[in-house]
């Protein structure tokens, strides 16, 4: 049994071919797809899969913390199976999302939040909006 199927089992999610297909699609892409994109990419291989199934499946994967759901101010939520802390860079022109895994020193900010508001930060969500390299090359 592969790692993804084991993750499903460990979270008491039944390993169905469709669920596994959706999960592994997300695990193998860096495109941060929407439900519509996932559905359109898989429907040829899984003709019995409905859009509603994809919605339900990503919701159960999200609830089990196997994937992240986030919104960058667009019409649809996006999904990411890469769970390590990282930032998202949205190109406002081509709407591609890039990952930034570099170190952002937030220790100072977290310290301030704690000392000013008594707030304990457990996780953070930081997004950057701008123009990607490819799009800015096209502009000039
Ligand atoms: Zn772009
Ligand atoms: Zn990401």
What confidence tens digit (pLDDT) does each residue in 40-69 have? 999 999 999 999 999 999 999 999 999 999
* Lowest mean per-residue pLDDT among 27-36, 94-103, 117-126: 117-126
In the chain, where are the structural domains located?
1-83, 85-140
Task: Check residue 52 and give its pLDDT.
Answer: 97
Q: What is the whole-number distance in angstroms between the Cα of residue 126 and the centre of ligand 2?
A: 11
CATH superfamily placement of domain 85-140: Ferric-uptake regulator, C-terminal dimerisarion domain (3.30.1490.190)
Q: What is the whole-number distance in angstroms between the Cα of residue 65 and the centre of ligand 2?
A: 14
Residue 120 above 70 pLDDT?
yes
Task: Check residue 84 and give its pLDDT.
Answer: 85
Task: Check residue 40 and give its pLDDT.
Answer: 98
The CATH number fitting domain 1-83, selected from 1.10.10.10, 3.65.10.10, 2.60.40.60, 1.50.10.150: 1.10.10.10
Instruction: Say if pTM beats, i.e. exceeds, 0.75.
Output: yes
Residue 1 above 70 pLDDT?
no
Instruction: Tell me the three-class secondary structure of the chain, residue by residue.
Output: CCHHHHHHHHCCCCCCHHHHHHHHHHHCCCCCCCHHHHHHHHCCCCCCCCHHHHHHHHHHHHHCCCCEEECCCCCCCEEECCCCCCEEEEECCCCCEEEECCCCCCHHHHHHHHHHHCCCCCCCCCEEEECCHHHHHHHC
């Amino acid at each position: 049994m592969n790692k993804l199927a084991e993750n499903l089992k460990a979270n008491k999610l039944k390993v169905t071919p469709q669920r596994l297909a959706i999960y592994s699609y997300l695990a193998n892409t860096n495109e941060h797809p929407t439900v519509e994109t996932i559905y359109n990419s898989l429907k040829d291989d899984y003709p019995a899969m409905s859009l509603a199934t994809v919605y339900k499946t990503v919701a159960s994967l999200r609830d089990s913390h196997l994937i992240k759901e986030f919104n960058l101010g667009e019409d649809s939520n996006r999904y990411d199976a890469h769970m390590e802390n990282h930032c998202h860079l949205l190109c406002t022109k081509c709407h591609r999302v890039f990952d930034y895994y570099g170190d952002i020193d937030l220790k100072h900010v977290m310290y301030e939040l704690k000392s000013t508001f008594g707030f304990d930060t457990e996780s953070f969500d930081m997004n950057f909006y701008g123009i990607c390299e490819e799009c800015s090359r096209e502009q000039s």
